[in-house]
């Protein structure tokens, strides 16, 4: 057996909770997103397992937490995500935007907001605008969207589009405490009169502060590079021209906890903003994500604890078991592809939660370890962390009926493996 290259002795008592730590520093303040990784976890993993500038990859980069932390440490950061809104946020958060250009654009926007209302060439067509927004909000959002449309610079446009996206969500008729699209009750709608322009101004001012912090950290990094945000599905393969085989030295990632339909509905969370921004495939995101399509037969994963849990679910609800199995089949396929682009001695860090379905605990951390071991990786360590400050449902609604909730997870694991 090979020894780990990293000294991880005396760390069993280490606290991974980071309770009370500020998680909205730098550009991490830009946009809310379900089940974000907290920056402190990414930072510690990068400092411990990639102390020198390296090639970093996040196969489920979401809003780019690990990419931002990688850039300010001089890493060359690659990320991919199937959710176009997540990619937009990642792009904005990792762009070292010029403050002068930003301030000039903010001044221009101010003039625009005070000028007669305009409408963009296209209003969203994939959603029922009158159902999800108050008439005045539609008018104001359309006016801002028309301004966004005439911004030529990609980085500037991404910065404002992200502030606009959060504004869309917050001024919509959706319940703010739900990831899925649930409309506010009628009684609340009667007094729901969001001020789109002021909401947008607040987001822009907050994000400008975050940008200033990011620019200072980025300038102090050992080297400055741009992040590469890709749109490929790592379950289906990793395009060679985007990431070369055996090139990546460190992966820091947090995959989804399960399929979008019954865990975190990233597509629904992003839908209204994605429609307003004209992002492609907005309606199809949840089906495209891991576990989005079912299987016809329960596979054998050769991971006894996982296979047993799936059989327990199958005995109670065969269809549900096949859906859950589809997620693990996709996870294993993605891991096989990630393994192929890892350099020798490269380290992968997967931050995951073990959820329960029909009373059966699904050992996702253990399955990830076994999937990588089957591909020639050695287990370095698995850290356990309580989740005090992650925005995710601690209770889920397995049947999508309100009130039918079950406790999901209060802890997550950080599985660290090394390619030998
Ligand atoms: C837990 S979130 C990642 C959050 C991220 N670490 C952050 O801090 O924002 C999981 C992400 O995986 C993405 N995802 C799910 N299936 C995917 C797939 N097959 N390929 C790429 N991304 C996928 C989802 O869109 C979601 O953004």
For ligand 1, atom 16, which residue shows the shortest CA distance? 289
Which ranges in 125-265 belong to alpha helices (H)? 129-132, 135-149, 154-171, 186-190, 196-219
* Residue at 69 is within a domain: yes
Give the position, in ligand 1's atom list, of the atom nearest the Cα of 59: 21
> What number does the ligand 1 atom closest to the CA of 266 have?
25
Q: Which residues contact 136 (CB under 8 A, 6 or more apart)?
A: 193, 196
Is residue 15 a part of any domain in this protein? Answer: no
Answer whether residue 173 is part of any domain.
yes
- Give the model's pLDDT for residue 408: 54
pLDDT at 244 over 80: yes
H or E element in which residue 384 lies:
strand 377-386
Mutate to test the pocket of ligand 1, among 34, 43, 59, 62 (most ligand atoms within 8 A of CB): 62
Distance 256 CA to ligand 1 centre (A): 6
Question: Which of 28, 86, 350 has most ligand 1 atoms within 8 Å of its beta carbon, as the pocket-test mutant?
Answer: 86
d(CA 303, CA 301): 5
Residue 383 falls inside a structural domain? yes
Stretch 176-188: mean pLDDT: 93
- SS3 string, 15-68, reads CCCCCCCCCCCHHHHCCCCCCCCCHHHHHHHHHHHCCCCCEEEECCCCCCHHHH
User: By alpha-carbon position, which residue is closest to atom 27 of ligand 1?
Assistant: 62
Atom of ligand 1 nearest to the CA of 234: 20
- Ligand 1 mutation pick, 165, 289, 364, max ligand atoms within 8 A of CB: 289
Q: Which of 241, 221, 215 is nearest to 230 (CA)?
A: 241
For residue 4, pLDDT beyond 80: no
pTM of the predicted structure, to 2 decimals? 0.94
Q: What is the pLDDT of residue 13?
A: 72
Containing domain of residue 185, as a range? 29-419
Per the structure block, which two tokens stand in for 57? 């990859």
Atom of ligand 1 nearest to the CA of 38: 8
What is the number of the ligand 1 atom nearest to the C-alpha of 253? 6
249 falls within a domain: yes
Residue range 286-345, pLDDT digits in tens:
888 998 887 999 999 999 999 999 999 999 999 999 999 999 999 999 999 999 999 999
Is 59 domain-assigned? yes
Q: Would you call 79 helix, strand, or coil by DSSP?
A: strand
Tokens of 384: 């356990």
CA-nearest residue, atom 25 of ligand 1: 83
Residue among 345, 322, 315, 311 at smallest CA distance from 420? 345
The number of the ligand 1 atom at minimal distance from the alpha carbon of 267 is 25
pLDDT of residue 391: 55
Q: Residue 405's pLDDT is what?
A: 38
Q: What is the CA radius of gyration of the chain?
A: 22
Residue to substitute in 68, 81, 92 for testing ligand 1 pocket (most ligand atoms within 8 angstroms of CB):
81
For residue 136, what pLDDT is reported?
96
Contact 303, 367 (CB under 8 A): yes
Instruction: Locate 328 and state its tokens.
Output: 């693990």
Helix axes 318-341 and 304-316, enclosed angle (nearest 10): 150
CATH of the domain at 72: 3.40.50.150
pLDDT one-digit tens code per residue, 77-124? 999 999 999 999 999 999 999 999 999 999 999 999 999 999 988 899
pLDDT at 266: 94
Whole-number pLDDT of residue 79: 98
**Residues enclosing ligand 1, CB less than 6 A?**
33, 35-37, 60, 62-63, 65, 80-83, 86, 233-235, 254-256, 266, 289-290
| Angstrom distances, CA of residue 123 to CA of 23, 162, 185, 267 | 35, 18, 25, 20
CA distance 377 to 416: 10
Which residue has the least CA distance to atom 1 on ligand 1? Answer: 256
Segment 380-404, tens digit of pLDDT? 999 999 887 555 554 444 433 333 3
For the chain, how many structural domains are there in total? 1
Residue 416, H or E segment: strand 411-419
Phi, psi torsion values for 343, nearest 5 degrees: -75, 160
Q: What is the CA(239)–ligand 1 centre distance, in A?
A: 18
**Rounded distance from Cα 130 to ligand 1 centre (Å):** 30
Count of beta carbons in the 10 Å neighbourhood of residue 207: 24
Q: Residue 420 above 80 pLDDT?
A: yes
- Mean pLDDT, range 357-371, rounded to an integer: 97
H helices of 263-401, in order, are 266-277, 285-288, 304-316, 318-341, 364-373
Q: Which whole number is the average pLDDT over 187-209?
A: 97
**Domain contains 6:** no
Give the integer Cα–Cα distance in Å for 285 and 283. 6
Query: How much distance in Å is there from the Cα of 178 to the middle of ligand 1?
Result: 18
- 84 inside domain: yes
Confidence class for position 34, pLDDT limits 50, 70, 90: very high
Average pLDDT over residues 160-165: 98
Question: Is the predicted pLDDT of residue 251 greater than 60, yes or no?
Answer: yes
Residue with tokens 């991974």: 16
Q: Quote the pLDDT of residue 59.
A: 98
Report which of 379, 27, 83 is spatially closest to residue 230, judged by C-alpha positions: 83
| Residue 85 near residue 369, CB atoms below 8 Å | no
Atom of ligand 1 nearest to the CA of 65: 8
Q: Which atom of ligand 1 is nearest to the CA of 80?
A: 21
Q: In terms of C-beta distances under 8 Å and separation of at least 24 residues, what long-range contacts does 298-303 make, across chains too?
A: 298/322, 298/325, 299/325, 299/329, 301/328, 301/332, 301/367, 301/370, 302/370, 302/374, 303/363, 303/366, 303/367, 303/370, 303/371
Say how many Å lie between the CA of residue 267 and the centre of ligand 1.
Answer: 11
Count CA within 13 A, CB hemisphere, residue 233.
14
User: Is the Cβ–Cβ distance between 416 and 383 less than 8 Å?
Assistant: yes
Would you say residue 407 has pLDDT above 50?
no
Q: Look at residue 399 in the predicted model and tell me its pLDDT.
A: 35
CA 164–ligand 1 middle distance (angstroms):
21
- Of all atoms in ligand 1, which is nearest to the CA of residue 334? 19
Predicted confidence band of residue 406 (pLDDT cuts 50, 70, 90)? very low
């Amino acid at each position: 057996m090979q020894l780990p290259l990293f000294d991880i002795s005396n760390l069993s008592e280490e606290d991974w909770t980071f309770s009370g730590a500020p998680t909205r520093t730098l550009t991490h303040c830009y946009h809310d997103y379900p089940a974000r990784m907290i920056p402190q976890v990414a930072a510690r993993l990068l400092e411990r397992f990639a102390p020198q500038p390296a090639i970093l990859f996040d196969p489920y980069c979401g809003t780019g937490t690990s990419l931002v932390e990688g850039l300010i440490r001089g890493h060359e950061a690659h990320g991919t995500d199937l959710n176009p809104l997540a990619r937009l946020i990642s792009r904005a958060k990792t762009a070292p935007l010029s403050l002068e250009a930003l301030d000039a654009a903010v001044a221009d926007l101010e003039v625009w907001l005070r000028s007669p209302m305009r409408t963009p060439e296209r209003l969203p067509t994939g959603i029922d605008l009158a159902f999800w927004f108050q008439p005045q909000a539609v008018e104001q959002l359309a006016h801002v969207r028309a301004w966004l449309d005439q911004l030529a610079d990609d980085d500037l446009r991404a910065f404002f589009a992200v502030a606009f996206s959060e504004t869309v969500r917050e001024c919509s008729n959706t319940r703010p405490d739900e990831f899925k699209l649930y409309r506010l009750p009628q009684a609340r709608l009667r007094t729901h009169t969001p001020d789109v322009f002021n909401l947008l101004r607040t987001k822009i001012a907050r994000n400008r502060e975050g940008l200033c912090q990011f620019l200072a950290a980025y300038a102090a990094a050992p080297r400055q590079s741009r992040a590469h945000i890709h749109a490929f599905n790592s379950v289906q393969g990793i395009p060679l021209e985007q990431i070369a085989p055996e090139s990546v030295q460190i992966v820091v990632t947090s995959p989804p906890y399960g399929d979008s339909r019954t865990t975190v509905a990233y597509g629904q969370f992003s839908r209204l903003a994605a429609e307003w921004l004209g992002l492609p495939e907005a309606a199809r995101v949840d089906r495209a994500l891991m576990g989005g399509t079912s299987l016809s037969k329960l596979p054998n994963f050769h991971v006894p604890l996982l296979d047993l849990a799936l059989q327990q679910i199958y005995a109670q609800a065969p269809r549900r078991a096949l859906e859950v199995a589809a997620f693990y089949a996709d996870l294993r396929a993605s891991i096989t592809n990630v393994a192929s682009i890892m350099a020798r001695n490269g380290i992968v860090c997967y931050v995951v939660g073990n959820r329960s379905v029909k009373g059966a605990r699904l050992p996702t951390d253990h399955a990830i370890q076994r999937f990588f071991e089957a591909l020639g990786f050695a287990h370095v360590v698995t850290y356990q962390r309580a989740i005090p400050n992650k925005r995710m449902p601690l209770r889920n609604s397995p049947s999508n009926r309100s009130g039918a909730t079950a406790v999901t997870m209060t802890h997550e694991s950080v599985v660290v493996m090394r390619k030998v």
